[in-house]
């Protein structure tokens, strides 16, 4: 079951609140690690399946948080852009610099998120490889 939560917070607190929510996702990631670490040789497939479910839930939630933060950053920078003053060309240059900085900051955040997604992908690939190796190593009954 899923729920949508909506509330207001001071702009200065948004990143701290989002950080708290993001850190909550370490619990399912830790559970995924525990599933894999505690798996017995005869229960590897079940352990991998359970770990992947934990990682999938965390990945989905982190993706939502990323989208929320990007939308917030976009709205914040759009709101604070200085309004052009009639006859002043330097305001356009200032606005361009602010936009360029905002784009660079957002790109940095996206790069960090992509690195985290790659990390999760590597974990999933390693788990799948381990399952395949375990399946090949299991002696055939007959």
Q: How far apart are CA 75 and CA 81, in angstroms?
A: 10
Q: How far apart are CA 44 and CA 33, in angstroms?
A: 13
Judge whether 2 lies within some domain: no
Judge whether 120 lies within some domain: yes
Judge whether 1 lies within some domain: no
Q: How far apart are CA 26 and CA 32, in angstroms?
A: 10
Per-residue pLDDT of 8-20, as tens digits, reads: 888 889 899 999 9
54: part of which helix (H) or strand (E)? helix 44-80
Contact 55, 135 (CB under 8 A): no
Judge whether 142 lies within some domain: no
Per-residue pLDDT of 32-79, as tens digits, reads: 999 999 999 999 999 999 999 999 999 999 999 999 999 888 887 776
Q: How far apart are CA 137 and CA 19, in angstroms?
A: 43
Neighbours of 12 (CB within 10 A): 7
Q: How far apart are CA 59 and CA 46, in angstroms?
A: 20
Q: How many domains does the chain have?
A: 1
Judge whether 35 lies within some domain: yes
Judge whether 4 lies within some domain: no
Q: Which residue range forms the structural domain that includes residue 48?
A: 12-81+90-137
Per-residue pLDDT of 82-115, as tens digits, reads: 655 555 556 666 777 888 888 888 888 888 888 8
Residue pointed to by tokens 């955040």: 109
Judge whether 3 lies within some domain: no
């Amino acid at each position: 079951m899923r729920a949508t939560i909506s509330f207001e917070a001071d702009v200065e607190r948004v990143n701290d609140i989002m950080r708290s929510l993001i850190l909550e996702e370490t619990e399912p990631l830790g559970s995924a690690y525990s599933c894999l670490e505690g798996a017995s040789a005869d229960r590897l497939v079940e352990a991998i399946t359970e770990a992947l479910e934990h990682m999938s839930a965390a990945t989905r939630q982190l993706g939502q948080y990323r989208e929320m933060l990007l939308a917030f950053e976009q709205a914040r920078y759009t709101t604070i852009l200085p309004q052009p003053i009639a006859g002043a060309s330097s305001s356009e240059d200032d606005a361009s610099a602010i936009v360029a900085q905002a784009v660079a900051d957002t790109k940095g955040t996206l790069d960090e998120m992509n690195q985290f997604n790659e990390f999760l992908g590597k974990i999933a690939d390693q788990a799948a490889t381990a399952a395949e190796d375990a399946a090949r190593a299991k002696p055939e009954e007959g």
